[in-house]
Amino acid sequence: MTVDPVTTPRSRARVITFVLIVLLLALSAIPIVALWRAFGPKVIVAPDFALIDQDARPFKLSGLRGHPVVVFFGYTHCPDVCPTTLAHLAKAVHSPTVPGDEHVVFITVDPDRDSPSVLKRYVRLFDPEFIGLTGSLKSLEPVYAAYHTARQAVPNNHGPNDYSIVHGTSLYYVGRDGIMKGFGSWEDDKPELTQDLKRFQ
């Protein structure tokens, strides 16, 4: 008697896992921020949070009140989206048309591997003024929820520390007054980022 490989419990579990990962990837590509803007309140105060920065010091978003801020979620083992976005931001923030007090805040979605020292080395690869934030998963989960960003670990089957993370890729522009001014995408190139950084103050 032959056994259909898709009908075995292990195979079914793999198929279900694959489908869920695909769905998560699809959802992360949906412009959630556009829905937020369309159906949310007209004035959105950027949710405040308390985390730990790359120097292991307490950090609150509200501590940057008076400065424009762009918030991005990612992790240091990210193979493509995160380094691409941070590299583009590093060029855009130094454009002569962008205010010199712009802050880039990079919040990890991988707190188990992204300690303050790891984040410090990582963000310095792009710009020494970038702020890297971490904390316990318990302290980070409310931040992910508040910013409507997806986050799901996906095992790579080469040990407990070998995994990728599916995560949201939106940029959140916070004005000097703490109000959410606009949203962007990791696919925005330098000219688009420069325009948004200049516009969303």
The class level of CATH for 31-199 reads alpha beta
How far are the Cα atoms of 36, 82, 152, 181 from residue 108, in angstroms, in the given order?
Answer: 22, 10, 12, 22
Predicted model pTM = 0.79
pLDDT in tens, 100-150: 899 999 999 999 999 999 999 999 999 999 999 999 999 999 999 999 998
Q: What is the mean pLDDT of residues 93-99?
A: 90
Domain chopping of the chain, boundaries: 1-30, 31-199
- Amino acid symbol at 67: H
Closest CA to 98 of 163, 17, 2, 191: 191
- The rounded distance, in Å, linking the Cα atoms of 99 and 119 is 25
Give Cα separations from 133 to 7, 23, 26, 47 (angstroms): 44, 28, 26, 15
Crossing angle of helices 190-199 and 81-92, in 10° steps, is: 60
Exposure string over 41-60, b if 16+ CB within 10 A, otherwise e: eeebebbebebbbbeeeebe
Mean pLDDT of 50-68: 97
Task: Say how far apart CA 90 and CA 184 lie, in whole Å.
Answer: 15
For a pLDDT cut of 90, what percent of the chain falls above it? 53
